Chain A
């Protein structure tokens, strides 16, 4: 259950979800104008696309719906979209203070991970003094893998994608990328009403 402190720029997660349901129309500047909301919305959009793809793959399957992992991921998206710590970016000028927020980095890590087929990123964490240039940092990512897939090569693909994103967008001294596969997910069967309507 979310509480008021979980709000992003004054919006609850439910409000952001409703906004996505409305296809972000009419445009709401109190949402669109905040990077934290945008990061959360993008993460939610990717998760929804994954769910729809699973529905298409398994439209005839009649198994018990298990969506607790979806709720768990949604909560992580919400928490990790927050700006968090500033991660410095170097510049030769003494008056320059350049940085990328921890929330932005977690957002690109999640996006990079979600780009790996059959894997969904759960939690992303940056452990270490990220605000201190050169300090060793360990990236810890939890993920969920589609049942039946071979986990080691998927984890390796995920690790490569995360390293690529980190090296492109940060100057972090990444000591390790630790990946934990927490769960396996099954294709989600469609709700009963979806059978009568066409897919999006």
Chain B
């Protein structure tokens, strides 16, 4: 887990937001028991984006790219807030999987320069 920076120290560079998001997605999906990574964006925004993407696919005949952000990285109270929403495969216990997802995120952040983290939110949205 990340600690507060020393006074005056520059914040470590966690990489570009896109890089960090992609790395976190990979880390979360690698956790045993995670079978789906849902969009962490607000529902309305995700529905609109999904409808647009589906329409584009219908018009162009080309598979749409999955551009919705599965891992939300934002700033909160001077640190990073990471939020993910997952589906869990039923043989695995949802609490154990969510804790492992949290720990996988902290491990990944450690590799990205251990930025200040104010919150890591893991929501189990479906168990199957």
Name the CB-closest residue of A to B82: A95
Q: Does A89 contact B (CB under 8 A)?
A: yes
Partner among B93, B120, B128 whose Cβ is within 8 Å of the Cβ of A38: B128
Question: Could you tell me if A9 and B43 are in contact, using CB atoms closer than 8 angstroms?
Answer: yes
With A and B bound together, what is the CA distance between A168 and B94 in angstroms?
Answer: 7
Q: Known interface pairs A100-B124, A169-B94. Does A29 touch B118 (Cβ–Cβ under 8 Å)?
A: no
Partner among A101, A105, A111, A168 whose Cβ is within 8 Å of the Cβ of B93: A168
Partner among A10, A83, A89, A90 whose Cβ is within 8 Å of the Cβ of B125: A83
Q: Mark B48-69, 1 if CB is under 8 A from A, else 0.
A: 0011011000000000101010
With A and B bound together, what is the CA distance between A89 and B100 in angstroms?
Answer: 12
- What is the CB-to-nearest-CB distance from A146 to chain B, in angstroms, rounded to a whole number? 25
Question: Could you tell me if A35 and B46 are in contact, using CB atoms closer than 8 angstroms?
Answer: no
Partner among B47, B50, B90, B123 whose Cβ is within 8 Å of the Cβ of A86: B123
Partner among B68, B93, B102 whose Cβ is within 8 Å of the Cβ of A93: B102
Q: Which residues of A contact B87 (CB under 8 A)?
A: 35, 38
Q: Which residues of A contact B71 (CB under 8 A)?
A: none
Q: Does B122 contact A (CB under 8 A)?
A: yes
Name the CB-closest residue of A to B85: A35
Question: Could you tell me if B121 and A89 are in contact, using CB atoms closer than 8 angstroms?
Answer: no
Question: Could you tell me if A29 and B85 are in contact, using CB atoms closer than 8 angstroms?
Answer: no
Question: Could you tell me if B102 and A96 are in contact, using CB atoms closer than 8 angstroms?
Answer: yes
Name the CB-closest residue of A to B102: A96
Q: Does A63 contact B (CB under 8 A)?
A: no
Q: Does A42 contact B (CB under 8 A)?
A: yes
With A and B bound together, what is the CA distance between A36 and B125 in angstroms?
Answer: 8
With A and B bound together, what is the CA distance between A111 and B88 in angstroms?
Answer: 14
Q: Which residues of A contact B124 (CB under 8 A)?
A: 89, 99-101, 104, 169
Given A30-B53, A103-B126, 18 more A-B residue pairs with CB atoms under 8 Å apart are A9-B43, A9-B47, A28-B54, A29-B64, A33-B50, A83-B125, A89-B124, A98-B95, A98-B123, A99-B123, A100-B123, A101-B125, A104-B126, A104-B127, A108-B90, A108-B127, A169-B93, A169-B127
Could you give 25 example pairs across A and B, Cβ below 8 Å?
A10-B47, A29-B50, A29-B54, A30-B47, A30-B53, A33-B39, A33-B46, A35-B36, A35-B38, A35-B85, A38-B87, A42-B128, A89-B94, A96-B120, A98-B95, A99-B124, A100-B123, A100-B124, A100-B127, A101-B124, A101-B125, A105-B127, A108-B90, A169-B94, A171-B95
